[in-house]
Amino acid sequence: MLLSGCYGKETGMSRVGVVGLRGPLSADAAGFAAELVRFGYSKTGRRQQMELFASLSAWLDDADLGLDGLDGAAVEAFLDARRAAREKLWSVRSLTPLAGFLSATGRSWPPPERPAGPGQAVIDDYERYLKSERGLAEGTIAGYVRVARDFLDDCSRVTGPGLEAVTAAAVVGFVTRSCSHLGLSASRGTISALRCLLRYLAVEGLVAADVGSSFLSVAGGGQPLPRGIGSGQIEALLASCDRRRGIGRRDYAILMLLARLGLRGGELVGLCLEDVDWRGGEITVRGKGSRIDRLPLPVDVGEAVAAYLRRGRPPCGSRAVFVRHQAPFVGFAGTGALRGILARACTRAGVAYACPHRLRHTAATGMLRQGASLAEIGQVLRHGQARATAIYAAVDDERLRVLAPAWPVVTR
């Protein structure tokens, strides 16, 4: 195999030609090259990745390191040398394909080093508690851990390291600073995560039991009314997708699932090929709290998904229904991709940006206005409690009209 290495003694990383490979990665060259083809990398992308692969293998060989010695410090030293030589692909992200390949073949890859803050041991125990005792979803755990780390770091900056810094004044100060630039929903989420941490610390006997009562809830009344978007705007969003192209078919199918079935963003991202029952006309949705539901698949939604799968989805080994349109062809990493898809559709359609959850509200209010009961809407939206669906009663103008008293008419 003819590859280009990137190692030289004069500059540290000057480009030299090599025949074959040297170093601890040499036996994996063919497998890695096949992996790049499988994930849909272009010819140029494969060449660049293989050059990076050869460069790292040669660098490890000259440093007398094997894969066992490839820790976070070694990776950073290798990338520093590439930066100094003004080479391309010098960030940790550039090594993502190689990291995935090595992990898939049972070799370890050094994870990004987490900064060891003053409460890192507490954070690690708290994260295990959220997983084992609370059984929260991964996204929720990540958010709660982020708030916990920010809070403990904030306490250490104000009063020094140690949990003795967790006082009522520190809690109030953190809430004031962190929520000053957040909206109502984000502020409530931050406070909910902070209360969970303080309860955990109190149960473990690490802080005073009454610290969590030192701040009030976020003002703003009860649960806000759901806000959908008009049917004309939905049609404009759908019409903005160029279904002559694969990416347009993908975006159209995604918008149809959001607007017609009211899927949550995480539910759509986690949708797998085996979740679609074409013969039965049903779709399996894995929702919040490990809940699994089966929903009927409307004909127009099914046709949109089928058109994408047959004439738009790149060939790849991913089991996700919706995958990236550029290599690597894998499922979306999170709901941020959906927000980007919807933002671009809103720009093309000339309408104000609407987040994916507003399309869920649109589906619910549309069913309500077509005569569906709240119980039926709750089944489609997969609500765990009836009160979660009851908020939609407040947006049904026609049904509320009969309950409103007539305006008194004064006659003279």
Q: How far apart are the first and last CA of the chain?
A: 100
The catalytically annotated residue of 264, 313, 324, 382 is 264
Q: Are 114 and 46 in contact (CB under 8 A)?
A: no
The catalytically annotated residue of 47, 344, 357, 358 is 357
The catalytically annotated residue of 250, 260, 382, 383 is 383
CB within 8 A of 308, min separation 6: which ones? 246, 249, 250, 252, 253, 322
Q: Which of 189, 186, 187 is nearest to 140 (CA)?
A: 189
Tokens at 370, concatenated: 């077509």
383 is catalytic: yes
Task: Write out the H or E segment, with its range, that includes residue 127.
Answer: helix 120-129
The catalytically annotated residue of 22, 38, 286, 288 is 288
Tokens at 142, concatenated: 């990540």
Tokens at 362, concatenated: 């649109």
Q: How many whole angstroms separate alpha carbon 270 and alpha carbon 410?
A: 60
325 is catalytic: no
> What are residue 5's DSSP bridge partners?
16
What letters, b where the CB count within 10 A reaches 16 and e where it falls short, cover 134-156?
A: eebbeebbebbbebbbbbbbbbb
- For 254, phi then psi, to 5°, come to -65, -45
Backbone dihedral region for residue 160 (phi beyond 0: left; psi -120 to 50: alpha; all else: beta): left
Q: How many whole angstroms separate alpha carbon 194 and alpha carbon 200?
A: 10
The catalytically annotated residue of 249, 260, 360, 382 is 360
CB within 8 A of 65, min separation 6: which ones? 24, 74
181 is catalytic: no
360 is catalytic: yes
- Please give the DSSP secondary-structure letter assigned to residue 323: B
- Indicate which residues carry an active-site annotation: 264, 288, 357, 360, 383, 392
